[in-house]
Amino acid sequence: MNKLKLLVFLTLLSTTPLLGLAQDRFYMSGKLHYSNFSYFSDKQDNINGRNEGLLQVELSSKRESPVQWSAVSELREDLSDASRKRLWIDELWARKRFGSLDVTMGKQIISWGTTDGINPVNNINPIDYSDLLETDDETIGVYALRLQWFFNMADIDAIYTPVASFGVLPDIDSRWFPSAKMMGLHAPLDDIDLLNIKKNEPNKTLANGEFGLRIRKRLPGTDLAFSYFNGYDHLPGYIPDMNRDNSPEQGMVLIENYRRQQVIGAELVFMLPWGWAFRGESALFIPEDDDVNAEKYVQTVAGVDKNIVLSSSSLRVIMQYIYDYNIDGGDYEDFDLRHLFTNSPMGNIDWTFHNGLSLSAMGIYNFDADGYFINPGVSYTATGGLCFSVQADILGGADESFFGNYSFNNRVRIKMSYRF
Amino acid sequence: MKSLILITLTLITLDLFSQNGREWIERYDKQTEVNDQKVTLTMQLFSKNGNMRERKLLWSTMEDAEGLSSSYIVFNAPADIAGTAFLSIERSSEAEDQWLYLPVLRRSRRISSNEKSSSFMGSDFSYADIGNENTDNSTYKLIEAVANDNGRKLKVIEACYNSEDRIKETGYAKRLIFIDASNNMMIKTDYYSTNEKHVKQLKCSDFKVIDGTSKLRAHRYEMKDLQKGTSTVLLFRNYQINKGLDSGIFTIRNLENN
């Protein structure tokens, strides 16, 4: 399979000299970036700094062409962390219009939701969390058939994924791999030697397919949507392999545990006075009953935002609240990516100047766990599309909180990127 | 008695100038009036020290039977914003729905209607500057029947918004609009703030008749912000006027799936 991907990628690259001749038939675009991650403190036996390069090439049909298509391939190379290396197809799809119906087939990324950064209703595509904080552009495409029927300022979006895809979590030697304590393994932390994680993805059969449905309506000043998803939670939980001796002397082996779930979602956007907008979405998660952690829960994100245009700059302000309600009343495990922000305000400011300079800051605090994440950054986009950015990731809080547990991962990200 | 006659004559003359001012604006308005239009646009943004940033976009507009307009703008360059698209649907003369499609997010986002005085796409043009002239919103006075500019006969019209709300919304107390008497096209507009300060100047040039129509269009607009020292040049090409644009262009479907 990897050879096939390599072949497709090289084919795309090898055709680039011909692209100039074919510009009237399709577009070529893409991006190239180099990132350096430097942690403030070293951690023994872990990767303490990374240098990563990425090349993404996209070929796509011209606008208004009768059959639209897109092919996006990505090459990522990391000098320090082998688990970050990849060569794959991000997207590979074709779309045809039949009257008011759009039919899209192939590997695609489908984005539902209306709030910023966190979207409880967006469950079709898995995400690569191998670096927990570097999730821009880390959505994994799924092979799906998508039908979109548009009518009278409304649309129905139906998606069928015959073969489920799953997310990526940090490797054992990653600084982002959770400690035994964080995973709720109640054994002395230092006594556990994690030997391995056994992959345990559900069989890739039609019986394990996924489907989703979303209905949207646009009213004057208001957008509304309701959605339903029946498929897998694309992130695993971990359970000890009970078929072996997991004593401290023998070391522990973990098995991934994926659960199937239904998600019922609702979205709402409406305009407020003085240029403010309200955005909110909420999703009810109903895991299958036979799962060991089958708690039902509701996640809600709601907030306001405004874009303020100044004389030589524009300022974007976002304020949101994230609330996670466990219907069954139990406590979540400390390390559970589904429930990082159970009771959390979030703020984001983006100040972009017309000369290419941009200042940004994002902050989030979890009242329940007393943990926080702050992400200030500065970037400059030069004429011609070259962009330089520096960002800091600052995590902290109580020892028992998710972010408090990762406070040793405070770091600076330096990135140089070019879009073409 | 003599003074009464003088006052009456002055009022009549002022009224005549006022009528003539509106008449010239209506002639200009008629020249720019279209059912639909599609044009390729290069936007050059010049900083105070002369550095230039360029954006390329495709701009489609359409007016329905009730005179309500819809706009669809898609950016083609630079690469970091290529594919970003903007849809605006006017619901009434006072309200419109707007959405922005961001390719990175792969979804459209409803945004609030821009204030008329705010910058259009980061340029020196405001949304009020690029909108059509609504003659109901202003009073017009022909203040110079004839002026000369490179041998052309010009009409200079003073346009003042007729409500405090409109003045606050646009940021302008007064505009001096220069119209070429030979073709009814606006060639220059000087913008004055509420404290009578000359704040911006727009110059239009490179006039050509659009193929297949009798419509004349400027192909180059230059707006100078006299306070900031910046300027924006809009270069128009491939005008398509009244070609019967598909109304499907102005839909969420087109915004998200094209």
**What's the confidence (pLDDT) of residue A299?**
97
Question: B183 and B70, same structural domain?
Answer: no
Query: How does the average pLDDT of chain B come out, rounded?
Result: 85
In a domain, B119, yes or no: no
Question: B61 and B83, same structural domain?
Answer: yes
Contact of A142 with A125, CB cutoff 8 Å: yes
In this structure, what token pair is assigned to residue A179?
């400690």
> Does pLDDT of B131 surpass 80?
no
Question: B132 and B99, same structural domain?
Answer: no
Q: Which domains does chain A have, with CATH numbers?
A: 2-419 (2.40.160.10)
Q: Comparing C-alpha atoms, which of A152, A162, A150 is closest to residue A204? A: A162
Pairwise CA distance, residues A6 & B7, whole Å: 89
**What's the confidence (pLDDT) of residue B10?**
45
Contact of A341 with A322, CB cutoff 8 Å: yes
In a domain, B108, yes or no: yes
Contact of A419 with A383, CB cutoff 8 Å: no
> Does pLDDT of A243 surpass 60?
yes
Sheet holding A237-240, edge to edge: A194-198, A252-257, A237-240
Q: Which of A137, A354, A419 sits opposite B45 (nearest CB)?
A: A354
Question: B18 and B6, same structural domain?
Answer: yes
Amino acid at A415: K
In a domain, B118, yes or no: no
Sequence-distant (6+) residues with CB within 8 A of A245 are none
Number of domains, chain B: 2
Which range among A171-185, A196-210, B108-122 shows the weakest confidence by mean pLDDT? A171-185
Question: B102 and B52, same structural domain?
Answer: yes
Q: Which residues in B lie closer than 8 A to residue A57 (C-beta atoms)?
A: none
**What's the confidence (pLDDT) of residue A10?**
52
pLDDT digits (tens, 9 = 90+) for A354-406: 888 999 999 999 998 899 999 999 999 887 779 999 999 999 988 778 888 88
User: Containing H/E element for B13?
Assistant: helix B2-32
Q: Which residues in B lie closer than 8 A to residue A350 (C-beta atoms)?
A: none
Which range among A13-27, A336-350, B81-95 shows the weakest confidence by mean pLDDT? A13-27
In a domain, B52, yes or no: yes
Cα–Cα separations (whole angstroms), residue A311 to A380, B117, B124: 19, 10, 9
Pairwise CA distance, residues B108 & B258, whole Å: 12
Question: B201 and B139, same structural domain?
Answer: yes
Question: Counting Cβ atoms within 10 Å, is residue A111 exposed (0-12), middle (13-18) or buried (19+)?
Answer: middle
Question: B50 and B28, same structural domain?
Answer: no
Q: Which of A95, A109, A383 sits opposite B53 (nearest CB)?
A: A383
Q: Comparing C-alpha atoms, which of A2, A20, A9, A6 is closest to residue A58? A: A9
Pairwise CA distance, residues A87 & A418, whole Å: 19
B91 touches chain A (CB under 8 A): yes
Range B64-68 average pLDDT: 85
CATH code: domain of residue B210: 2.50.20.10
Question: B217 and B131, same structural domain?
Answer: yes
SS3 assignment, position B28: helix
A357 touches chain B (CB under 8 A): no
What is the share, in percent, of chain B residues with pLDDT greater than 90? 47
User: Domain of B76?
Assistant: 34-113+236-258
Amino acid at A258: Y
pLDDT digits (tens, 9 = 90+) for A63-93: 778 899 999 999 999 988 888 888 989 999 9
Range A334-362 average pLDDT: 89
Q: Is residue B232 very low, low, confident or very high in pLDDT (cuts 50, 70, 90)?
A: very high
Q: Which of B74, B106, B228 sits opposite A312 (nearest CB)?
A: B228
Pairwise CA distance, residues B247 & B258, whole Å: 14
Q: With an 8 Å Cβ cutoff, are B95 and A220 in contact?
A: yes
Question: B39 and B17, same structural domain?
Answer: no
Question: B17 and B69, same structural domain?
Answer: no
**What's the confidence (pLDDT) of residue A198?**
81
> Does pLDDT of B149 surpass 80?
no
Q: Is residue A290 very low, low, confident or very high in pLDDT (cuts 50, 70, 90)?
A: low
Of the residues A218, A267, A317, the best mutation for testing chain B's interface (the one with the most B CB atoms within 10 Å of its CB) is A218
In a domain, B120, yes or no: no
Question: B206 and B158, same structural domain?
Answer: yes
Range B157-175 average pLDDT: 87
Query: Any idea of the CA torsion for A158, A128, A259, A207, to the nearest 10 degrees?
Result: 50
Sequence-distant (6+) residues with CB within 8 A of B188 are B149, B177, B178, B201, B202, B203, B204
Higher pLDDT, A45 or A109: A109
CA angle A262, A263, A269 (to 5 degrees): 165
Question: B137 and B11, same structural domain?
Answer: yes
Query: How does the average pLDDT of chain A come out, rounded?
Result: 86
